[in-house]
Amino acid sequence: MSGPLLHLSGVGKDYAKLDTDAARAKLVFDLLRGRGVARAFCALDDVSFDLAAGESLGIIGENGAGKSTLLKIIAGVITPTRGRVDLRGRVGALLELGSGFHPEYSGLANIDLAAALLGLAPDEIDAKRDEIVAFADIGDHIRDPIKHYSSGMVVRLGFAVATALRPDLLITDEVLAVGDESFQKKCIAWMENYLTGGGTLLLCSHSMYHVQKLCRAALWLKDGRTARYGPAAEVAQAYLAYHEEKSAGAKRPIAAPKAKAEGFYAIRSIALDPPGRIAAGGSLAVTGEIYSPDDRTPVVLIGLVRADGTPIYGVASDMDGVTPVRVAAQRFTFSLSFPQLPLLPGKYVVRAHALDPEGVRLFDNVEQAFIVEGATRELGLVRIGHGWNGAVPH
Amino acid sequence: MSATPRPAAPRAIASATAPNLARDRALFKNFVRRELFARYLGSITGLAWAFVHPLALLAVYHFVFTTVFRAGAMNGKSFLAFVAVALWPWLAAQEALQRGTVSIAGYAGLIRKVAFPHELIVYASVTATFVLQLVGYLVVLAVLALFGEPVHFEGLLLALPLWLLLAVAITGLALGLAALQVFIKDIEHILLPVLMILMYLTPILYPLSLVPESVRPWVAANPFGYLVDRLRDALLDGRLALRWSDGIAIVVAVILFAGGRWIFLRLSPHFEDFV
């Protein structure tokens, strides 16, 4: 086999907007004539990616971003309106709760049904049944109708069935969120083992921890479109930063009066070097210009905050006993560098404030965002030097 | 698996209806078992009901027509035999259509989560109905013969292919109606009175010869009337010779099946949004 196991190009899905019976009748008529949906809501648009055998991709995004629609298209449950999906191999899909169980039937009967749906021959089913029952580990409940199961038990059984097949591509949608701690561990152990054994995984999760732990790459869907696609750590960090910004957006206090008018000390410009993106552990320089209405030397305060506004570090020129440089009447410049910035990958903001020469009154607040890039699974904001004592490397 | 890329729509249809025969056969068997189980084979007296039910029905008809209405001989046969031979295929067709039309909704959970050929649902539903009704039919014929009615069992050589033909035609209708039912929920409610009217317009409870000359061609044009006629020929008179109309019946059945399936395959990729 050559080429990727799964290839998507320009995939999109429209859903019909139907509010009346007449609209439904018209839709049927249009479909029979081989036409598309007339009034449509676009749930997914222009999604493209490749997934090679043995790789793992995490799908992340807010509720309603189109994650489940995308997974269902890949699983073949729904037909995409646009674009193209090429899939080579056997798919095991765990979409939402329970991969197509019938509520009236017992766990055992549902194992048979699920196995038949997945294309197992009857003798194969017999061989796998015990394995499935053992993995699900729900005791005698296996003989009860599924409708009496808790959601956790349904997921256990669903996962056990989907994994027993050893599919070429395993699609899971939020399954890890439901199981209890020990079952989650079992699932993650199974998935890691499956990945090590050359399996391919498509994981949809709200847990960036799981995505970063299990997936090499990630796709961030936003309003049905690809917001970002790349290495899992990078995309997960961008996604988290987006959420931090979003939650901070509503409550961000005005740190200082917007004192742009003449007569106040003001930051005229700031620039970052390198601009926008730096590598984790790299250096960052902040330069800028301050306006001083009375030509006295102002104080500049530079702060580093996380995208949601959490302060990390701040330092003013007068604390270090330095002053901005006067370059012309009423114009001063400053330049500050952070060698080996210890920030962990993520989205941050540099804040520059202009203060009066006494360093007492704060006049202006200018922000410049930047991103720290890197692939690390360390948690938090800054890297703190550390060493394990007596530990053995593996 | 083929290495050539395919456009999206055919792929999805292919994944749902690709000739994965072993899988589809296993799935079909599972569905049929599920249908049978869901009716009454799951109960303790299970299989017995498959026999008791048609016999009880036969006894009721005997009471109503022979004892109450005192219906006499019909074309030289007892009225009970005359009705029974035609009524069971009708019951099979009616039940298969009604169950088949609403069958998709019962599999909503699967349709939303697993890719499989949706037409298997309708096939399984119709098959389960026909199997049960055919068993009932054979039981009824045996009991009629036991009570001295002149049943020609060699007529089954023609009767069974006729049942098959009926099943093919009904499957086609059920496919079309089931697909429409997913989008337009009124179908099942319209179906009941339509079937009722059709039953009385078909010479099941009366012979065509009693119909006034002026409307007889209209009643005779009813395709189900043809079937009833042929079944009576075969099972009550032992006449097995083929006719031209048999060829037409085959063509009609195939057209109904193909047409119904065409509608179904057009609409089934969109079931997921509506079930």
* pLDDT (0 to 100) of residue B75: 64
How many whole angstroms separate alpha carbon B235 and alpha carbon B214? 29
A360 touches chain B (CB under 8 A): no
CA distance B22 to chain A (A): 7
What is the least distance, in Å, from the CA of A339 to any CA of chain B? 51
* Cβ within 8 Å of B, A 17-36: 21, 24-25, 27-28, 31-32, 34
Q: Give, in degrees to the nearest 5, the angle at Cα A330 between A329 and A332.
A: 100
Q: Would you state the pLDDT for residue A252?
A: 45
What sign does the dihedral B36-B40-B43-B44 (CA atoms) show?
negative
Instruction: Assess contact for A347 and A369: CB atoms under 8 A.
Output: yes
Chain A residues within an 8 Å CB radius of B275: none
Q: What is the ipTM of this complex?
A: 0.72
pLDDT digits (tens, 9 = 90+) for B189-215: 999 999 999 988 888 888 888 888 888
Task: Using pLDDT thresholds of 50, 70 and 90, give the confidence band for residue A261.
Answer: very low
DSSP assigned state of B208: G
Q: Give the least confident one: A99-103, A130-134, B10-14, B151-155.
A: B10-14
Contact with chain B for residue A390, Cβ under 8 A: no
Q: Rounded mean pLDDT of B222-251?
A: 89
| Mutation to test the A interface, candidates B187, B268, B273, B275, most A Cβ within 10 Å | B273
pLDDT bin (cut points 50, 70, 90) of residue B234 is: very high
- pLDDT at residue number A280: 87
* Higher-scoring residue by pLDDT: B14, B141: B141
Using a CB-CB distance cutoff of 8 angstroms, which residues of chain A are in contact with residue B38?
A: 104
Optimal mutation site among B183, B184, B189, B266, interface A, most CBs of chain A within 10 A: B183
Dihedral class, residue A189 (left if φ above 0, else alpha if ψ from -120 to 50, else beta): alpha
Q: Is B273 on the interface with A (CB under 8 A)?
A: yes
Mean pLDDT for B124-130 is: 94
Cβ–Cβ under 8 Å, residues A92 and A169: yes
Contact A75 B115 (CB under 8 A): yes
- Mean pLDDT (whole number) for A333-345: 91
More confident of the two residues A262 and A19: A19
Residue A100's φ and ψ, nearest 5 degrees, are 75, 50
Cβ atoms of A356 and A297 closer than 8 Å: no
Put simply, whether the predicted model's pTM sits higher than 0.80 gets the answer no
Work out the number of other CB atoms within 10 angstroms of the CB of residue A215. Answer: 26
For position B5, what pLDDT does the model report?
Answer: 37
- Partner-chain contact A88 B3, CB within 8 Å: yes
By Cβ distance, the residue of B13, B20, B115 closest to A77 is B115
Give residue-wise pLDDT tens across range A224-246. 899 989 988 888 888 888 887 77
Shortest distance between the Cα of B135 and any Cα of chain A, in A, equals 26
pLDDT of residue A253: 44
Residue of B nearest to A21 (CA): B184
Flag the least confident range among A156-165, A362-371, B7-16, B79-88: B7-16
Cβ of residue A95 closer than 8 Å to a chain B Cβ: yes
User: Do the beta carbons of residue A351 and residue A306 sit within 8 Å?
Assistant: no
Residues A20-44: b if buried by 16+ CB within 10 A, e if exposed? eeeebeebbeebeeeeebeeeebbb
The tokens for A211 are: 């995505």
Q: Residue A147: what pLDDT? A: 83
Start-end of H helices in B7-68: 8-17, 21-36, 46-61
CA–CA gap between residue A147 and residue A103 (Å, rounded) = 5
For residue A96, the chain B residues in CB contact (below 8 A) are: 113
Q: Smallest CA–CA separation between A78 and chain B, in Å? A: 6
Give Rg (Cα) of chain B: 21
- Cβ distance A117 to B123 under 8 Å? no
**Beta-carbon separation of B113 and A27 below 8 A:** no
CA distances from A7 to A53, A90, A226, B69 (A): 11, 14, 15, 72
Is pLDDT above 50 for A259?
Answer: no
For A112-158, write each residue's pLDDT tens digit: 888 787 777 777 778 888 888 888 888 888 888 888 888 778 888 88
Comparing CA positions, the residue from A148, A135, A132 lying closest to residue A183 is A135
Q: Work out the minimum CA distance from A100 to partner chain B, whole angstroms.
A: 4
- Contact call for B115 and A16, based on CB within 8 A: no
Residues 111-170 of A with CB under 8 A from B: 112-113, 116-117, 119-122
Q: Hey, is the C-beta of A75 within 8 angstroms of any chain B C-beta?
A: yes
Q: How far is CA A313 from CA A61, A309, A338, in A?
A: 30, 11, 11
Check CB contact under 8 Å for A117 and B110.
Answer: yes
Band the pLDDT of B249: cuts 50, 70, 90.
Answer: very high
Pairing state between β A200-204 and A169-173: parallel
pLDDT, average across residues A67-86: 88
- Phi, psi for residue B214 in degrees, rounded to 5: -65, -35
